[in-house]
Copies of this chain bind each other. A is one copy, B any other.
């Protein structure tokens, strides 16, 4: 049994992590911390956990974290980087679901996150936790930077095209739509039901924090610089991300369907749909799958890729558990077999 701790378990990512860990046959939850909710029963906050999680939130500076084999950080940005160095010294491995270790360049990180990085020396050793790209490195990693939700959907959609250098990397577009849970459980007016339901809007068109993260991943895949226009949108639903990806073919003859099927043939959580399909976000609600379809409208030179995930599962907690399984030599889908809830 892997002894597991969760730091900052009160947000949506945290409760989703609890749901998955509690159902995982090889993980044992030792403690869950929250400064603001210390002493409160977890199930009082999340009644879906009644009868399953008897634990209370404890303070994050609890010594108990050092007794863990693995600690997940489900904290706001700029928290994990303060605590991770000490945990590593104590031999604890870490999966950080926040953005602290996602960018390799500390200056770039500072530009987008508005703070000085507390442990830039760890950025090189941290492994970006996209299993489809970094499986071998994740296995050995001390610190895994769990990818953002948008970056997961966008990268999995673009990778086959870029790795094979089939499209113009200087003219990529990611038009991405997210459910409201992506904005977290914070009490913001914009996330109220009366503001966000029955409406649709783009936001952060001038620049979103996930842009440099996506760019870094695509650049590595393409082995060249990329130019990406990334426009996120707020969609009136709880869970789900739908990425609509546009790129221009630089070759004439290519079997796109075969390309995608081959690329992901051995991936347990990437499902390439039959030709002509349109994936729905609900087909992955609560599950760790990414479902992808690739189109070439009117046989022109533009490729349209559709990629859907559950932002809280493959886009956060599920991918974190997938990374845990890899790190500890378990079957990659252990504890992640749940089928999406439909309808």
Using CB atoms and an 8 Å cutoff, list the residues of chain A in contact with chain B: 12, 15, 19, 22-23, 46-52, 171, 173, 175, 177, 179-181, 185, 187-189, 191-203, 205-207, 227, 229-231, 233, 235-240, 242, 244, 246, 248, 271, 273, 276, 278-287, 289, 291, 295, 297-298, 300, 302, 304, 306, 308, 337-343
The chain B residue with its CB closest to the CB of A192 is B191
* Residues A201 and B47 in contact, CB atoms below 8 Å apart: no
* Residues A300 and B227 in contact, CB atoms below 8 Å apart: yes
* Residues A338 and B278 in contact, CB atoms below 8 Å apart: no
Contacts of A198 in B (CB 8 A): 198, 237-240, 282, 285
* Residues B276 and A202 in contact, CB atoms below 8 Å apart: no
* Residues A238 and B297 in contact, CB atoms below 8 Å apart: no
Contact of A244 among B233, B283, B287 (CB under 8 A): B233
Nearest CB of chain B from residue A264's CB, rounded to whole Å? 12
Contacts of A180 in B (CB 8 A): 192-194
* Complex CA–CA separation, A189 to B236 (angstroms): 17
* Residues B203 and A278 in contact, CB atoms below 8 Å apart: yes
* 17 A–B contacts, CB within 8 A, in A order: A12-B343, A48-B284, A48-B340, A171-B248, A173-B302, A180-B194, A187-B192, A194-B238, A198-B239, A198-B282, A199-B237, A199-B282, A200-B280, A200-B281, A201-B242, A233-B242, A235-B235
Residue among A201, A237, A276 with the highest chain B CB neighbour number at 10 A: A201
* Residues A207 and B237 in contact, CB atoms below 8 Å apart: no
Number of copies: 4
* Complex CA–CA separation, A285 to B343 (angstroms): 11
Given A185-B194, A194-B191, A197-B238, CB of A48 within 8 Å of CB of B341: yes
Nearest CB of chain B from residue A47's CB, rounded to whole Å? 4
Contact of A236 among B171, B193, B338 (CB under 8 A): B193
* Complex CA–CA separation, A252 to B292 (angstroms): 37
* Complex CA–CA separation, A287 to B338 (angstroms): 12
* Residues B49 and A281 in contact, CB atoms below 8 Å apart: no
* Complex CA–CA separation, A205 to B199 (angstroms): 23
* Residues A202 and B278 in contact, CB atoms below 8 Å apart: yes
Contacts of A171 in B (CB 8 A): 248
* Residues B205 and A339 in contact, CB atoms below 8 Å apart: no
Nearest CB of chain B from residue A340's CB, rounded to whole Å? 4
Contacts of A297 in B (CB 8 A): 205-207, 229-231
* Residues A200 and B177 in contact, CB atoms below 8 Å apart: yes
* Complex CA–CA separation, A339 to B48 (angstroms): 6
* Residues A343 and B47 in contact, CB atoms below 8 Å apart: no
* Complex CA–CA separation, A230 to B297 (angstroms): 9
Nearest CB of chain B from residue A149's CB, rounded to whole Å? 14
* Complex CA–CA separation, A202 to B281 (angstroms): 10
Given A339-B48, A340-B48, CB of A193 within 8 Å of CB of B197: yes
If A173-B246, A199-B240 are given as contacts, then 20 extra A-B residue pairs at C-beta distance below 8 Å, sorted by A number, are: A50-B283, A175-B175, A175-B244, A180-B192, A180-B194, A181-B343, A194-B343, A198-B238, A199-B285, A200-B235, A205-B304, A205-B306, A206-B295, A206-B297, A206-B298, A207-B298, A227-B300, A231-B244, A231-B304, A233-B244
* Residues B205 and A47 in contact, CB atoms below 8 Å apart: no
* Complex CA–CA separation, A298 to B204 (angstroms): 11
